[in-house]
Amino acid sequence: MKEQDPSPMASVGPFNDDDGLPGEREQRHVHKVGVPPRQNLFQEFSATVKETFFHDAPLRHFKDQSHSRKLLLGVEAVFPIVQWGRSYNLSKFKGDVIAGFTIASLCIPQDIGYAKLANLPPQYGLYSSFVPPIIYAFMGSSRDIAIGPVAVVSLLLGTLLQNEIDPTQNPADYLRLAFTATFFAGITQVTLGFFRLGFLIDFLSHAAIVGFMGGAAITIALQQLKGFLGIKDFTKKSDIISVMRSVFSSAPHSWNGPTILIGASFLCFLLVAKYIGKKNRKLFWIPAIAPLLSVVLSTFLVYITHADKKGVQIVNHIQKGINPLSLNDIFFSGENVLKGFRVGVVAGLIALTEAIAIGRTFAGMKDYQIDGNKEMVALGTMNVVGSMTSCYVATGSFSRTAVNYMAGCHTAVSNLVMSFVVFLTLEFITPLFKYTPNAILAAIIISAVINLIDYEAAILIWKTDKFDFVACIGAFFGVIFSSVEIGLLVAVSISFAKILLQVTRPRTAILGNVPRTTVYRNILQYPEATQVPGVLIIRVDSAIYFSNSNYIKERILRWLTDEDEKSNATYSQGIQFLIVEMSPVTDIDTSGIHALEELHRSLQKREVQLVLANPGPVVIDKLHASGFANVIGEDKIFLTVADAVTSCSPKRVEEA
């Protein structure tokens, strides 16, 4: 049943299409299709498991090592700091300190603002920039990522949590639910990483993320209009219609003049600083310290002018002191556990997606590798510990990571430095924020999220792949016009629909002979390709699995019916041979074999001969194992389409 011919000429296998040169037909050596050696079940299974879960060979360097070394390597795997900590030196420390201070100055005002997005008191933002980065520095693999609360996850958390518990009416339970969600977010992340299921987050396509982030950014910016304009009554909903209605129905008379002045002027300042940083990369530190500078200046201004008496809303109070323990605040029983679980899983997955994308991008830029699954374990642990120390979901922030990178960070010690600065802030500096106007925080957030609107990427997506663009736009409009959850749902659904489409509706094409060659090409792509009378050649562009086998069979039969009609009209004879060109068919399963058998039977009834051309190694193997090769006759399986056509209608080919 299985042939294996060692001679190279005769065992020239599949993927061997025609030569493209004319005048070669007479001495055509019809090569036998080679069949590869059979792997036993265990080999095949372990190869598949290895490729699926361990494709990056994470245990590669464990080979051939002594036991104590393996133990050390194991500790290093969980705590990479043990490895890079040993080669740490003063110059690296210098770079990390500068970078750490720079991102700290950026993160402090952002944290206070982001906590508001999550409907939490401002100190929780600072807490989440204190503990999580420390955990990450010990366990994480990225050298550049800057850890802390981020805009989109804060918004997501705020929106999802307030659907469950009202933060104004029941702030204590709301806080507890936030910790519960953070806990489950961390558990989700650790589980995915530990079971090496990290590839699951690849299922959110890049295009959908671009749209989702852009929509989230606009939503966040719109919500800042509350603080920016000094409006007191503002909608809780996040969609653009509700927000616009809130803004304009409160009408200009309830907009607070001084607030708008402060907000607008500092927003201009921040945007100009950003522009300068973009134009001249050496001046990256300008947009980095601009937020803190604005906070200091505006606080001073408000204090001097007593603007808070004139209606400018201020932060007023940030709890002093570092993170209290919150282990007892997490819901471990009751109905809130499920609520927290649901919110936590979603927030955890989005946080993962951001952090992994950031980690990969910067690792690519500095050309080192990070193990995605190991990163997930680190991020998850960070959030689990954070949930027990009054933090909410923290992840990598793209803007802060970019600043970290450009400020010259070398290792995750920059995160430790930033954490230390936040610690100092919490212990000593928080009272100074008393007079900080909300408007400045709103301006800082608006200038921060503008980065997330990546219209250049959207244009590129439009040019490259229209389906991806639909995913992008769908997610974008879903977030803007409905809510963050709906936008996310749209993004995931469109991503899945694309996979479904790929899997259930593969392409098929009719091939014709390009004149004066023995090459067969898609007649739609090459209008000059002519079909051979009485012969229909169809190429199937995918593996034939249960998910598409029935479709492929019905599609081929439909091609046959249509072409038969045309052939009868043109040549007064029908199709007598159906050649299935199988080079793109990388695999076939039992449903696929089934479909081929049914196709063969249908064709026999119509007196059409089924011929197979160019089956790959895996396919030829299964055709033999299932006995189908005997059913159709082994003389009906050819190496190339040209060979198949020659055998079908030798007379006709000579005439051509």
- Subset of 572-601 contacting a second copy (CB under 8 A): 583-584, 586-591, 593-594, 598, 601
Run of H or E residues at 110: helix 90-117
Nearest CB to a second copy, comparing residues 246 and 609: 609
| Residue 212: CB minimum distance to a second copy, A | 13
Decide if residue 602 touches a second copy (CB under 8 A): yes
Q: Which of 10, 61, 74, 203 binds a second copy (CB under 8 A)?
A: 203
Tokens, residue 29: 């050596």
Query: Across the strands, what pairs with 611?
Result: 579
Decide if residue 31 touches a second copy (CB under 8 A): yes
Binding mask 438-477 for a second copy (x = CB under 8 A): ----------------------xx-xxxxxx---------
Nearest CB to a second copy, comparing residues 239 and 375: 375
Q: Which of 3, 546, 573, 650 binds a second copy (CB under 8 A)?
A: 546
How far apart, in Å, are the Cα atoms of 70 and each of 60, 66, 196, 538, 551? 12, 6, 21, 55, 52
Nearest CB to a second copy, comparing residues 31 and 176: 31
Q: Which of 244, 268, 499, 656 binds a second copy (CB under 8 A)?
A: 499
Decide if residue 631 touches a second copy (CB under 8 A): no
Run of H or E residues at 256: none
Q: Which of 19, 427, 565, 634 binds a second copy (CB under 8 A)?
A: 19
- Tell me the three-class secondary structure of 47-97, residue by residue: HHHHHHHCCCCCCHHHCCCCHHHHHHHHHHHHCCHHHHHHHCCHHHHHHHH
Phi-psi label, residue 516: left if phi above 0, alpha if psi -120 to 50, beta otherwise: left
Report strand pairing: 395-396 vs 520-522: unpaired
Burial of 650: CB neighbours in 10 Å, binned 0-12, 13-18, 19+:
exposed
| Residue 79: CB minimum distance to a second copy, A | 23
CA geometry: angle 443, 448, 453, nearest 5 deg: 120
| Residue 44: CB minimum distance to a second copy, A | 6
Binding mask 506-545 for a second copy (x = CB under 8 A): xx------xxxx-x-xx-xxx-x------------xxx-x
| Residue 377: CB minimum distance to a second copy, A | 18
Nearest CB to a second copy, comparing residues 423 and 467: 467
Distance CA 9, CA 639 (A): 13
Decide if residue 364 touches a second copy (CB under 8 A): yes
Decide if residue 199 touches a second copy (CB under 8 A): yes
Tokens, residue 287: 């947009």
Is residue 519 within 8 Å of 18, Cβ to Cβ?
Answer: yes
| Residue 510: CB minimum distance to a second copy, A | 14
Nearest CB to a second copy, comparing residues 241 and 524: 524
Task: Give the residue carrying structure tokens 């990546």.
Answer: 454
Decide if residue 212 touches a second copy (CB under 8 A): no
If one counts every other C-beta atom within 10 angstroms of the C-beta of residue 412, the result is 29
Is residue 350 within 8 Å of 152, Cβ to Cβ?
Answer: yes
Report strand pairing: 395-396 vs 147-148: antiparallel
Most distant CA atoms of the chain, gap in Å: 101
Decide if residue 112 touches a second copy (CB under 8 A): no
Decide if residue 191 touches a second copy (CB under 8 A): no
Decide if residue 617 touches a second copy (CB under 8 A): yes
Decide if residue 502 touches a second copy (CB under 8 A): yes
Nearest CB to a second copy, comparing residues 158 and 487: 487
Nearest CB to a second copy, comparing residues 420 and 467: 467
Run of H or E residues at 498: helix 484-504
